[in-house]
């Protein structure tokens, strides 16, 4: 099986700062794994002390993700993580390695129970269950150390059997992120809200009625009349006029 192309790359190496775009899933056959990521990460820190990681990650391998987490956490440079779309599952764990963590207003964080596959005898399955529990215990400690979430909340993420999607504001409340990046642009409407506060409902509606009625198409009307005349002529020829 061939590996998917890189969806992360080194960008904007200017005056001691660099940016890595980390988009996709984590795994040996996915967009990035530890071996490929660490090469880009170390290259970035050779000439830069500040690093920004822009993330839109759907999760993936626990082991690859933990290796990336430790790499970022133990680096000497200052790392800011910006979650642009989602930091799901192991993507969320990696995000927690940042010295600063920011989320776009519409970004989400997701955590759930560890999943795995197993083949073999009963002892193989028992060992598989034990390994899943070990992974969840390790991940639980990371969330306990790097967020304000209490033990009950963290335990529920793993034990409920559900995906737990958290908005950027909820992440800010739980200490998962340090700042929410609010939009800088506002959509323009036909009239500002403060100008309609004293209007009647009908007047207010007209303020936002930005799409006029389409003009009447005379060609369509003429075509319809021509079809009517042809039908009446056919009926008259058949002696059926006035009987319908």
The CATH number of residue 159's host domain is 3.90.226.10
120, pLDDT greater than 70: yes
Question: Based on the structure, what is the number of domains in the chain?
Answer: 2
Residue 212, domain member (yes or no)? no
Mean pLDDT of the chain: 83
- Residues 121-126, mean pLDDT to the nearest whole number: 96
Does 27 share its domain with 140?
Answer: yes
Confidence of residue 16 (pLDDT cuts 50, 70, 90): confident
Give CA–CA dist 217/36, Å, rounded: 62
Residue 55, domain member (yes or no)? yes
DSSP 3-state of 181: strand
Q: Domain containing 226: what range?
A: 217-244
Taking the model in full, what pTM does it have?
A: 0.73
What does the buried/exposed string (b/e) look like for 78-94 if buried means 16 or more CB atoms within 10 Å of the residue's CB?
ebbbbbbbbbbbbbbbb
Q: Would you state the pLDDT for residue 223?
A: 59
Does 167 share its domain with 231?
Answer: no
Q: Would you state the pLDDT for residue 186?
A: 78
142, pLDDT greater than 90: yes
Does 49 share its domain with 113?
Answer: yes
Does 145 share its domain with 233?
Answer: no
């Amino acid at each position: 099986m061939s590996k998917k192309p890189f969806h992360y790359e080194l960008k904007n190496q200017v005056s001691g700062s660099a940016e890595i775009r980390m988009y996709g899933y984590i795994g040996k056959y996915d967009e990035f794994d530890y071996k490929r990521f660490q090469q880009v990460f170390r290259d970035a820190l050779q000439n830069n002390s500040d690093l920004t990681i822009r993330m839109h990650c759907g999760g993936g391998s626990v082991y690859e993700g933990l290796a990336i987490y430790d790499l970022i956490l133990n680096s000497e440079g200052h790392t800011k993580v910006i979650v642009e779309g989602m930091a799901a599952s192991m993507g969320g764990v990696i995000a927690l390695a940042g010295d600063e963590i920011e989320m776009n207003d519409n970004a989400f964080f997701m955590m759930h129970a560890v999943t795995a596959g197993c083949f073999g005898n009963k002892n193989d399955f028992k060992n598989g269950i034990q390994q899943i529990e070990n992974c969840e215990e390790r991940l639980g400690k990371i969330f306990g150390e790097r967020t304000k979430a209490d033990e009950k909340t963290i335990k529920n993420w793993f034990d409920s059997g559900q995906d737990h999607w958290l908005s950027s504001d909820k992440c800010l409340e739980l200490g998962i992120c340090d700042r929410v990046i609010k939009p800088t642009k506002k959509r323009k409407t036909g009239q500002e809200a403060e100008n309609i506060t004293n209007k009647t409902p009908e007047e207010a509606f007209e303020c936002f009625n930005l799409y006029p009625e389409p003009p009447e198409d005379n060609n369509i009307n003429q075509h319809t009349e021509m079809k009517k005349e042809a039908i009446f002529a056919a009926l008259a020829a058949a002696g059926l006029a006035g009987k319908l």
